[in-house]
Chain A
Amino acid sequence: MKLPFTKAKKNVDADYASVDIANKEVEGLSQSQIVRRRFFRHRGAMISLFTLGALILFVFSALNNKIGPFGYHGWWHYGIDDQPELISKGCPQYVTGCPTFHWRPGFLGGKNFGFGDHPFGQDDIGRDYFALTMRGAQRSLTVVFIVGLVAGFIGTVVGAISGFYRGWIDAVLMRFTDFIITIPVIVLGSVIGFHFGNLGVSVLAVMLGLFLWTGLSRLVRGEFLKLRELDFVDAARVAGASNRRIIFKHVLPNAVGVIIVSVTLLMSGAILTETALSYLGFGVVAPDVSLGLLISQYQDSFTTRPWLFWWPGLLIVTIALCINFIGDGLRDAFDPRQRRRLSRKDKSSTVTGVKAGH
């Protein structure tokens, strides 16, 4: 139900001086410099980017890891398989494995700041909960990035081909996405997770990615349909460019904003999907660890041992929140329409820019 493409005859240079003046802000910068500049100015996104980066480093360096023949040692003194003795000293009555993390200063009767042996506590059988949450966060982050890559790639390719070639190719691809969209994500994920969850987190993530690209492909298709009507595409064609060159050199770089922003949103959705699946028992399964699985295992212990519940949850929220804010910052950066509003102080400012008439 799109409107027919109508080209308004309009004086493009029509003077809306405010627009002209607004451009003063970006004088002499390349397109990507402008985007970067706007992004760097988005405080929420910058804080999130920093936090997420630090979190990734922290989480992945904590434990021993093996990827194929390569491996490294983490800085944390427990792994997820270690089963040290369950400690109940200093814990409330009938509770074992409480966190050893303490911060209350000595003059208030505390033990000053310190991590202790098990800062996040221990689980039922004595495993270090800090190690477990770190492994869970690793799993979740892995899923997020693999899903982002796989779904981002498929969605972009399908959307690009659909929107660029239109006609029957478009019809076939879009019907196919319609098919997949009728299946609720979480149900699809459950079916996938039920059968592939035990094959490891990467397989699960790839499988999820194989089905989560539909929303993205629709957006990319819309963007391609819009961009392919622009004159510079015709200009490239007259210059003798092939379809492939037009797609990759001319259209795709202009659709990159839409793609990046929606892949980010897709990734923040992916972490919630993964944890929800693991919570339901359809995602990562024991003995492997996932944040969703930890929450599901210890939700009933909330009243007695709330730390078993808080840490994995807070990690999920932090990761998802960071990705969402980064996505918001990217959207603002790629979409120049938003203008800043004045505060009362600005209104009475006397700083003036260039004089009129020059």
Chain B
Amino acid sequence: MIAYIGRRLSILFLILFGSSFLVYNLVAYSGDPTEGLRGNTDPKAIQALRSLIRNLQLDVPPPARYFLWLKKVVLNFDFGTTREGLSVASDLRTAIPTTIRLILMSTIIAIVIGIAFGIISALRQYTRFDYAMTFIAFVLFSLPVFWVAVLLKQFLAVSFNNFLANGQIAIWWIVVASIVSGIFWATIISGSRKRVWQVFGIAAAGSAISLELLSATHWFKHPTLGPVAVGVIGVGIAYGVTYLSVGLQNKQALKSSLAMVVASLVLYFPTQWVLNKEAGIFPTLGLLIFTIALAVVSGLFFSKIDRGPIVRTTVITSFLIGLVIIIDKLMKVWVPYINTDAINGRPIPTISENNSLLPAGNFWFSALDTVLHLTLPTLALSMISFAGYVRYSRGTLLEVLNQDYIRTARAKGLTERTVVMRHAFRNTLIPLTTIVVVDFAAIIGGAIITESVFGWRGMGTLFNQAIRGQDLNLFMGVFLVTATLTVLANLVADLLYSALDPRVRVVAG
């Protein structure tokens, strides 16, 4: 295994070497950084030209200059300086986390929702839901991200901010939303005509009532969950996760998950105290880890046999409940947050990655600020990658469902849930993982547009700046990071592939 990874890594370095050489020369020969200064007789310009040539070693021909650059990168981890004389490395240090933050959330959301809808689509092949999903996926697929971004800014951010001014949902909005929700659930459920209408009625009425309630109580102005809502949502999560993970007939898993819901409610107020007192990223993460540890204990306590699946179910449940509690906490700072001068009642921002006018030092303020700044870009990016995942997971699952071993699984008398989740989905994961990982690298490249639209200062912005300014060192610095991520992603994809598929598992040694 280690030998295999070693060999792959060495190939990886060769590819990086080859492609960086190629790109270095391509960029170096295709433009001249001194273009604006040449032919200028102003002594200052001549001086600037000289120092630029000296600093960037422009007197060395590009192929040779590449090796000078490479030597510094390899030996001292020194990426050189930009043409303004700033360190490329320090530019990268601030840009990388920004970009990662931008794409991580959207990728996770797109994957989870995309795969979920892909699976439902495949299981309901050639139904109205499937056709609708296909159509929506294609539409999303055909949307230019910069166009969507402007629409989102206008319709989501500006309208939502306007709406917050009074916090009342207009009646026609409630009607439309209820009908849409009714249609959505009615198309997912298959069954007799009567059942479809029932589902439609229940879903539409449910949505209408809850929206009206939220509107009447001015919930959007003072959003809050509180222990009761956390409890209700927690029970829902416990049932949902248990159903998907092991099936509801597994009473041990259900008990263990519900125990965690109870535990999180008992610990709700102590948790709030910790989150207020020790506001910060590490205490929050610490609490999350504590929750998961507690979940493991609970899983072990409630299970006698089959501990693995039960512990897994409990851990997923309590992780999700933990997230709900964090959301609850963020909602608690909502009112003070939107009333600060910097926000002035318009919380959804359309530009940049944080609000610099916000009073410093309040962790939950800046956390909420970050989340809100992420909203629009995350929505835009995940809408577009969502489409790809829906199509791909649908196609793969359909292919797997046609395999002989699915028929064997049915012939064994397994429940449909086990056939789909354990036998079909597990095999679907094999090609899906590869795509997801490789895609992740591609999105980093695509960040150049998203960052430009939303005015984030990440790697895309650096790329942009490097290309416009003919700034070779800056360009190569960013390129090296994205290229490394791309080849590493390919390696990870292959390793995951062999971890998931025993047929290609690398033999030890």
Contacts and interface: CB of A to CB of B under 8 A. Distances in A.
A and B touch in the complex (CB under 8 A): yes
Contacts of A292: 144, 146
8 contacts: A1-B498, A179-B19, A182-B487, A183-B23, A187-B463, A194-B31, A272-B144, A337-B402
A190 B464 contact: yes
Given A184-B482, A282-B467, A317-B139, A179 B146 contact: no
B371 interface: no
A194 to B, nearest CB: 5
Interface in A164-199: 175, 178-187, 190-191, 194-195
B143 A317 contact: yes
Interface of B: 14-16, 18-19, 22-23, 26-27, 30-31, 125-127, 134-135, 138-139, 141-147, 150, 154, 158, 398-399, 402, 442, 444-446, 448-449, 452, 463-464, 467-468, 479, 482-483, 486-487, 494, 497-498, 503-504
Contacts of B452: 279-280
Nearest to A179: B19
Given A292-B144, A321-B142, A184 B31 contact: no
Contacts of B139: 317, 321
Contact of A183 (B141, B154, B483): B483
Interface stretch (A129-137, A245-253, A295-303): A295-303
Interface in A324-344: 324-325, 328, 337-338, 340-341
Contacts of B464: 190, 280
Given A182-B19, A279-B449, A187 B482 contact: yes
Nearest to B150: A299
A275 interface: yes
A3 B150 contact: no
Nearest to B452: A280
Given A184-B445, A302-B150, A309-B150, A324 B486 contact: no
B30 A184 contact: no
Contacts of B448: 184, 186-187, 190, 280
A138 interface: no
Nearest to A337: B402
Contacts of A337: 399, 402
Contact of B449 (A276, A313, A316): A276
A3 B505 CA distance: 11
Given A191-B467, A275-B144, A309-B150, A184 B444 contact: yes
Contacts of B463: 187, 190
Nearest to B391: A328
Given A187-B445, A292-B146, A317-B139, 7 more contacts: A183-B19, A185-B445, A186-B446, A280-B464, A295-B146, A295-B147, A302-B150
A182 B141 contact: no
Contacts of A96: none
Interface of A: 1, 3, 44, 175, 178-187, 190-191, 194-195, 268, 272, 275-276, 279-280, 282, 292, 295-296, 299, 302-303, 309, 313, 316-317, 320-321, 324-325, 328, 337-338, 340-341
Given A186-B445, A191-B30, A324 B19 contact: no
Given A191-B26, A309-B150, A324 B15 contact: no
A183 B142 CA distance: 23
B428 to A, nearest CB: 16
Contacts of B150: 295, 299, 302, 309
Contacts of B482: 182, 184, 187
Secondary structure at the A interface, as helix, strand, loop or mixed, is: helix
Contacts of B154: 302-303
A181 B494 contact: no
Residue from A175, A187, A299 having most chain B Cβ neighbours under 10 A: A187
Contacts of A185: 442, 445
Contact of A276 (B144, B442, B503): B144
A320 B141 contact: yes
Contacts of B468: 194
A338 B147 CA distance: 35
Contacts of A186: 445-446, 448-449
A186 B463 CA distance: 10
A300 to B, nearest CB: 9
A341 B449 contact: no
Residue from A44, A180, A181 having most chain B Cβ neighbours under 10 A: A181
B136 to A, nearest CB: 11
Nearest to A296: B146
B467 A178 contact: no
Contacts of B487: 178, 182
A329 B136 CA distance: 16
B444 A316 contact: no
A3 B446 contact: no
A317 B504 CA distance: 41
A179 B15 contact: yes
B408 to A, nearest CB: 15
Contacts of B134: 44, 328
Nearest to A3: B503
Contacts of A313: 144, 147
Nearest to B154: A302
Nearest to B501: A1
A146 B448 CA distance: 24
Nearest to B21: A179
Contact of A324 (B22, B142, B147): B142
Nearest to A183: B23
Nearest to A268: B142
A322 B14 CA distance: 41
Given A276-B145, A292-B144, A316-B147, A180 B19 contact: yes
Nearest to A306: B154
Contact of A184 (B27, B138, B446): B446
Query: Top 3 A-B pairs ranked by shortest CB distance?
Result: A184-B445, A320-B142, A179-B19
